């Protein structure tokens, strides 16, 4: 065991020996293997946040650590970098909202067209059914055409 540095003070007949503490050696902690609990990981992250430039790969499945590092990086930006970051973020949000709006409008248009086509098909089917009944009762084709808006060829095929 190595001897610690001592300082001796004398006051009258008394001798006081002060033992100076040795510098505590900091041991490297491997975050991949030595930190097993989330509490250990949180303490390590908070203690070493300013020195971290990435999340250890073993923790990448924990979104809260990724988010913490992102927040730390953003909060450490200079005013110029923060302005550029906010501008880029606004552009991304605007692009996302524009895309979502376009999708929403496309869906509404498609649904409207589908409903219109379904109504038209139902009307055509109903008109065909009415024309068939009128034809069976011997009503003239001119009256059936006028009543159902079907063509003469469609009525003859019934």
Question: What is the reported pLDDT for 2?
Answer: 56
| Nearest residue to 45 (alpha-carbon basis) of 25, 27, 59 | 59
Residues 158, 130 contacting (CB under 8 angstroms): no
31 Cβ contact list (under 8 Å, min separation 6): 41, 44, 56, 58, 59
pLDDT per position as a tens digit, 110-133: 999 998 988 888 888 888 888 888
pTM of the model: 0.47
What is the residue whose two structure tokens read 């409008």?
A: 105
- End-to-end, the C-alpha distance of the chain in Å comes to 111
Mean pLDDT, the chain, whole residue set: 82
How would residue 157 be classed by pLDDT, with cut points 50, 70 and 90? Answer: confident
């Amino acid at each position: 065991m190595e001897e610690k540095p001592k300082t001796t003070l004398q006051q009258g007949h008394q001798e006081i020996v002060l033992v100076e503490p040795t510098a505590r050696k900091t041991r490297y902690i491997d975050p991949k293997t030595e930190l097993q609990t989330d509490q250990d990981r949180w303490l390590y992250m908070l203690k070493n946040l300013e020195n971290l430039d990435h999340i250890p790969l073993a923790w990448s499945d924990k979104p809260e650590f990724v988010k913490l590092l992102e927040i730390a990086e953003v909060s450490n930006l200079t005013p110029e970098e923060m302005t550029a970051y906010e501008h880029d973020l606004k552009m991304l949000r605007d692009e996302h909202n524009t895309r979502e709006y376009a999708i929403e409008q496309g869906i509404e248009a498609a649904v409207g067209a589908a409903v219109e086509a379904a109504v038209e098909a139902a009307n055509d089917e109903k008109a065909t059914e009415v024309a068939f009944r009128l034809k069976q009762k011997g009503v003239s084709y001119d009256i059936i055409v006028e009543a159902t808006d079907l063509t003469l060829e469609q009525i003859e095929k019934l």
